[in-house]
C-alpha cells in the first residue's frame, strides 16, 4: 500500500511535465503577446473580436488587433511546406498556413516570421519580404520590415492564406566604368 503515494507523485509529475512541453502562450490580448519561439508545428486559439489576440507557432507569431475580426473566431496556425518558387529569390524556412481559410480582417493583422541566420547565407537579408500563396499556387510579395539583428521580418496581412519569408539572392556589385 505504501507504493500508491509514490505512483501518484510519479504520475502527477509526468502529467505536469508533458503538459508544460506545449505550454506556449496563445491568447486574447493582442497587447500582451510576445513572440515565443517554440517547437510547436500547429496551434489553435480562440481569438476575441473585442480584445484581439495572438498565436505563436515555431518562430512565427500572428497578432490580431482588437476589432480586426467581426466575431470571436477559432484561429489555427500550422507550419507547412510551400512548393512554389520566386525567380531570383529563395524561400527561408517553412511557411505558415492560417485557418479558417479566406478570413478577411477588418483592420490588418501583423505577422512576424523569424529565421536562422544561416538560412540567409548568400542572400540579401535586407530584401526579405513576406509572400503569400495565391489560389493558383503562385507566391506574391506583400511587404516586410526586416530586423537583421533578430533575423525577423514583419508584415501586415489582410486575409488568411499561407505565408513565407523570401529573400533575394546576393548580386555582385556593378563595377565602375573604365574611362580611357
Alpha-carbon distance of 26 to 65, in angstroms, equals 14
Alpha-carbon distance of 56 to 37, in angstroms, equals 7
Q: What is the pTM of this model?
A: 0.79
Residue 145 has pLDDT above 80, yes or no: yes
11: left (phi over 0), alpha (psi -120 to 50) or beta: alpha
**89 strand-pairing partners:** 168
Q: Which of 118-122, 126-130, 170-174 bottoms out in mean pLDDT, i.e. has the lowest? A: 170-174
SS3 call for 153 = strand
Residue 38 has pLDDT above 60, yes or no: yes
Domains of the chain are 25-169 (2.60.220.30)
**What Å distances lie between residue 100 and 42, 161, 171, CA to CA?**
14, 9, 39
Alpha-carbon distance of 144 to 4, in angstroms, equals 57
Per the structure block, which three cell numbers stand in for 124? 540579401
Residue 123 has pLDDT above 70, yes or no: yes
Alpha-carbon distance of 122 to 171, in angstroms, equals 9
Q: Which residue has the higher pLDDT, 24 or 122?
A: 122
Q: Which of 30-44, 66-80, 141-155 bottoms out in mean pLDDT, i.e. has the lowest? A: 30-44
Q: Which of 27-36, 81-90, 100-109 bottoms out in mean pLDDT, i.e. has the lowest? A: 27-36
Q: What's the mean pLDDT in 46-59?
A: 93
Mean pLDDT, the chain, integer: 83
Q: What's the mean pLDDT in 43-71?
A: 94
Amino acid at each position: 500500500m505504501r507504493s500508491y503515494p509514490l505512483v501518484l507523485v510519479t504520475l502527477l509529475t509526468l502529467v505536469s511535465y508533458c503538459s508544460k512541453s506545449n505550454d506556449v502562450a496563445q491568447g486574447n490580448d493582442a497587447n500582451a503577446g510576445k513572440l515565443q519561439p517554440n517547437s510547436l508545428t500547429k496551434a489553435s486559439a480562440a481569438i476575441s473580436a473585442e480584445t484581439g489576440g495572438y498565436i505563436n507557432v515555431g518562430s512565427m507569431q500572428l497578432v490580431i488587433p482588437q476589432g480586426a475580426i467581426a466575431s470571436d473566431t477559432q484561429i489555427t496556425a500550422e507550419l507547412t511546406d510551400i512548393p512554389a518558387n520566386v525567380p531570383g529569390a529563395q524561400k527561408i524556412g517553412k511557411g505558415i498556413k492560417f485557418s479558417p481559410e479566406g478570413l478577411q480582417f477588418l483592420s490588418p493583422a501583423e505577422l512576424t516570421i523569424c529565421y536562422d541566420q544561416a538560412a540567409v547565407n548568400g542572400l540579401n537579408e535586407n530584401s526579405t519580404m513576406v509572400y503569400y500563396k495565391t489560389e493558383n499556387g503562385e507566391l506574391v510579395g506583400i511587404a516586410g520590415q526586416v530586423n537583421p539583428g533578430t533575423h525577423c521580418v514583419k508584415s501586415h496581412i489582410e486575409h488568411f492564406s499561407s505565408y513565407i519569408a523570401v529573400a533575394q539572392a546576393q548580386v555582385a556589385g556593378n563595377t565602375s566604368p573604365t574611362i580611357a
